[in-house]
Structures are given as C-alpha cells and as structure tokens.
Amino acid sequence: VVQEPAQILSFMRKQRFNADYELTARQGADTMAYIALLEEKLRPALLHTFWVDTENYTSLTRPWFASRSPFPLNFIVPSRLARMALSRILLTKGECGLSTLPVRHLRIYSDAKECLNLLSYRLGTANHFFGNSPTSLDAFVFGFVAPLHRASLPSSHLQSHLKQLENLTHFCDNILEVYFSPPPLPPPAVQESMDANLQKLTQLVNKESNLIEKMDDNLRSSPQHKPHRLDPKPSLSSANSSTPA
C-alpha cells in the first residue's frame, strides 16, 4: 500500500502524472526544500497532536480509526499506529528515551509554528505556491495542513496558531471547494423539468397499477362456472354391438 506522501508522489510520476512539469529548475529545488521542511518540522508536531496527545487521541483519533476498522482490528490498529507515531517523533528528533518527550514537546510545536509561518509567507496572497495551478508542493502542504485545519481537536495550540494564518486556511478551503466538493445541482429550470417528468412518470405508473388491481378485482368478483364435461362419443365398436342382428 502506497501511503507516504513521497511514495505517492513517486508512484504518480511513474504513472506519468506529474504536476511539476511546468516548473523551472529553481522552483523544483524550492519544492524539494519545502517538502523536506514539512517532513522535518511539521510532521512530528502533527503526529504528536493526533496520536500522542492523550486528550486528542482518546476523544478523536482512536474512536475515528476504531469505527472504521473491523473487529478485532479496531482494538489493535489505533494503539499500534500511536506507538509508531511516537517512535517516528523520537527518531526524527534524535531522542532515545520516552522520559525526554515532555521537554521536546515544546520544541516540536515551536518548530511546527515556524514551518507554518514560512509556508504562509511563501504563499502570500496567491491561491497556489507556484503559478495559477496546483503543483506537488500544494498537494503536500494540503495533506499536512488540512487535517489540522478541519479536525475537531479538543486540545491543540498548533491549530490555534494555524487559524491566525488566514491565507493558509483559505488555501485549504479553496482546494476542498474546487477538488473535493460534491457536483453542483442543475439549474432551477432544469431541476423543475426533471421533477415534472418524474411526477408524470410516477402518475403513469400509479394509473397502470390501479388498472391492474381493478382487473384482478373483476376477475375475482365474476361468477366462476364449473366447466361441463362433455359426454364421449360412442365408438364404432360399441355402436355395432348394440345393433340387433
């Protein structure tokens, strides 16, 4: 299963889907630099927010994953992912023991806030990071920032900081609206015509159903005559035997 952002990007490029083909060499280098920044600075804080923070984990993350996993995986998967997240944090920050995690906790979030500030500064007032169309950097940033922006977290200082960066929240809302919103409803005139046709079809079906019911009632109420049994014609041999000699 391809699930890491870098793996997804590599897989899509192998399938000849590349959103960066119009970027210059400088923009391509900036893309790789910002992706590395996201992995180093923002990912540990997101892992801590969703998987290590006790309040968020017990009230949001664990119930959500458990409700979407069949038994008995609903008891196994969330706790396993939580342990993997904690190991990833310690590995990224170069720690080797759990006792140092509360000390690094503040450093994790300060690094994440710095990363969000840099992203906000780079985005500015534009809808995308490079040009008028999204690139792989837009996909990376959206994948990291959108869950933090939309999740109902009971405890998250990082989410409060993100809400102050209005261009990043607008960036997420814009992508959700353009690429993930349901298809628009037809115009009122078309919708009214569709409703009228559907109503006519329903009336026609109801009339046919009523007609069939009346026919059934008529058949049930009509007198049922027992069919008469015709007397068999006498055979030639029996006729000859009955004729006097």
What integer pLDDT is reported at residue 170 of this predicted model?
Answer: 96
CA 120, 126, 131: angle at the middle one, nearest 5?
115
State CA 90 to chain mean position distance. Answer: 31
- pLDDT computed for residue 172 by the predictor: 95
What's the rounded Cα separation, in Å, for the pair 29 and 37? Answer: 12
**Token pair recorded at residue 133:** 């169309």
pLDDT at 96: 46
pLDDT at 125: 92
Residuewise pLDDT in 10s, the chain (245 residues)? 556 777 777 777 777 777 888 889 999 899 999 999 999 999 999 999 999 888 999 999 999 888 888 888 888 888 998 999 888 888 877 654 444 555 456 788 899 999 999 999 999 999 999 988 899 999 999 999 999 999 999 988 899 999 999 999 999 999 999 988 877 666 666 656 666 777 777 777 677 666 666 666 666 666 655 555 555 555 555 545 555 54
Residue matched to tokens 């009509």: 222
**So what's the pLDDT on residue 245?**
46
The verdict on domain 5-178 having CATH code 1.20.1050 is: yes
pLDDT (0 to 100) of residue 16: 76
Report the alpha-carbon distance of residue 39 to residue 36 in Å, rounded: 5
DSSP 61: I
